[in-house]
Structure 1
Amino acid sequence: MFNQKKTDPFFSALLTIAENVKEAVHYADNFKVSNVADLKEVSIKLKKYETEGDDLIHDLISKLNKSFMTPIEREDILQLAIKMDDILDGIESFAAHLEMFSLTEIDEYVQKFMENIVKSTDEIVKAMELLSRKKLEAMREHAVLIKEYERICDEVQRTSIKQLFITEKDPIRIIQFKDIYEQLEEIADYCQDVANTIETIIMRNA
């Protein structure tokens, strides 16, 4: 179905979007926060990643509007790009809320969420690399892994909120951490949305 030797510009664009998402998530996970000023720095940097992501989406839409032929359904290309961009928007919002709440210390649950979100974005990039090489069937295993990481995040959310209400006595901190946990679970859901879209593309084209 595909010319295996020629790299398609739409698949290359999707890979670039995925790499930007992965880089942003890794940055957020690796940055060591010591004070409120650090939170501001992270928030500003992730806003730049988000802006870059918006520009990449805009460029992709321009390509779609100008192209008569696309390698797969144009709706699938756009859906995949938007779902990846949702992850980027989510991680930027997460950092903004950390700064808003001045939360310079994160707990084991936030770390566990981030660990699995990082793994998910790694798998998304691997899947997009396979897509750029037109190896659609091989993408499936990465979609399966992403869904497993989302399942783990579901469990983390249930445990984290349960423990929060058991151990935390300050109602303000309960509100803040519950918000953070729910945001991170939503990011994991966005990763799963990407996996679902990947599976739809495989089903229609492989």
Structure 2
Amino acid sequence: MFNSKKPDPFFEGLLNIAKNVQQGANYAKESTITTVSELKQIQIKMKSYETAGDKLIHELIVKLNDSFMTPIEREDILSLAIKLDDILDGIENTIAHFEMYSFTEVNQYMRDFVDYIAKSSDEAVKAMELLNKKDLIGMRQHAILIKDYERECDEIFRKSITELFQIEKDPIRLIIFKDLYEQLEEIADYCQNVANTIESIIMRNA
């Protein structure tokens, strides 16, 4: 089944979902938050990426429901699609919290989080490109890198929380910073979920 040269619509669908996540993650990385009005525009743009992701997921589900045969287990296809989209949902939700708090104080910890999340989305796209080429074994290197980036985010989270409780005296600011750090750490966990799903697919199909 993996010898066919014809593009597979399910693998193409996963690649499109991954690319949408990549675009959203890199948009968040490249955005500069200095005013509340800028924050609102960023949130609107992120919402558009999330909406596009929901549409791509729906299209994939329709294909799965209409197809008798799939190149790998349909549960694996759907699981990978949803876990990819979770990353984008997490980013959009975090930006929404920035807007909710009218919070424009982006620090280096936050920038580092988003940088690793964007890098993880880049690796996810590379993995889906290899999946389209039926190169399952080649996908593993990208899953490994995503896990490496998640470990970096674990370290950022520990350092940021430690510093927060040592330095911040304002309880409201402490709550806001802690909430945002926890959300960013959760997005990194979503990236790791993608890597774990990729490795499970490799194990069952390579």
- Flag whether TM exceeds 0.5 (same fold): yes
User: What is residue 199 of structure 1 aligned with on the other side?
Assistant: 199
Gaps of 5+ in 2: none
1: distance between equivalents of 2:150 and 2:105? 24
Distance 1:11 1:131 in 2: 7
Give 5+ residue unaligned stretches, structure 1: none
Displacement of 1:57: 0.4
Identity level (%): 66
Question: Displacement, 1:32?
Answer: 1.3
Superposed CA deviations along residues 156-199 of structure 1, whole A, max 9, x for unmatched, are 11110110011111111100010000000000000000000000
Larger deviation, residues 25-34 vs 61-70: 25-34
Partner letter of residue 42 of structure 2? V
Distance 1:121 1:4 in 2: 27
Which residue is equivalent to 2:14? 14
Paired letter, 2:33: V
Per the normalisation by structure 2, the TM-score is 0.98
- The CA RMSD over aligned residues, in Å, is 0.7
Compute the displacement of 1:4 (Å): 3.9
Instruction: Report if aligned partners of 2:10, 2:60 keep a CA contact under 8 Å in 1.
Output: yes
User: Distance in 2 between the 1:170 and 1:4 partners?
Assistant: 61
1:28 pairs with 2:28: yes
Q: CA deviation at 1:34?
A: 1.8
The runs of at least 4 consecutive aligned structure 1 residues that moved more than 3 Å come to none
Q: How many residues align?
A: 206
TM norm structure 1: 0.98
Decide whether the 8 Å contact of 1:116 with 1:153 is kept in 2.
Answer: yes
Give the structure 1 partner of residue 179 of structure 2.
179
1:86 alignment partner in structure 2: 86
Question: SS of the residue aligned with 1:69?
Answer: coil
Q: CA deviation at 1:3?
A: 2.9
Q: Is the 8 A contact 1:50 1:89 kept in 2?
A: yes
